Chains A and B, each alone.
Chain A
Amino acid sequence: EIVLTQSPATLSLSPGERATLSCRANQNVSSYLAWYQQRPGQAPRLLIYDASNRAIGIPARFSGSGSGTDFTLTIRSLEPEDFAVYYCQLRTNWYTFGQGTKLEIK
């Protein structure tokens, strides 16, 4: 079974700062990884797919990198609306999700 582990569980930053979120798989998953953002009371939104491709309409400040077992979501300069929970997700192994990272305002 492939498990995705996200870190940190909570990240406290200020608007304008750079955010770096991590997702680690317990075995090689190639580049078959996506990132989602979920704001309170809203459905998730696809940000990044295949590790580094931005979905339609996603601002350029969001970027994804990594392959194999280690992946990173970077938000270059945080806007107020970016404070949310972020999930990574595997497109194989029946769409496994990570447990999430909460990005909160410091």
Chain B
Amino acid sequence: KAGVTQTPRYLIKTRGQQVTLSCSPISGHRSVSWYQQTPGQGLQFLFEYFSETQRNKGNFPGRFSGRQFSNSRSEMNVSTLELGDSALYLCASSLPRSDGNTIYFGEGSWLTVV
């Protein structure tokens, strides 16, 4: 069974540009969430989607947005990139159970903003 797949794995962008990251969850998983990982701040929750609806959002500016498609695949977008957006962006998926369901992470997309 394939794991959570994220593309691209590595990318370099210039300040002011925008970027779109893609995530394919594990087959059958309908909940998808995104996290930002940096050395200074650790892992921080960005947002969560279930059945194409955002049901939770972290404390990030509006430049960070996401969406989920009917096939549960998800994308996140960062507009007007800043140097501080350089990070590992992780996507996670899980079954839509409410009781301790395991969250599976992808290997992430490494974003460098120059």
Q: Are A and B a genuine interacting pair, yes or no?
A: no
- B-side residues, CB < 8 A to A, are none
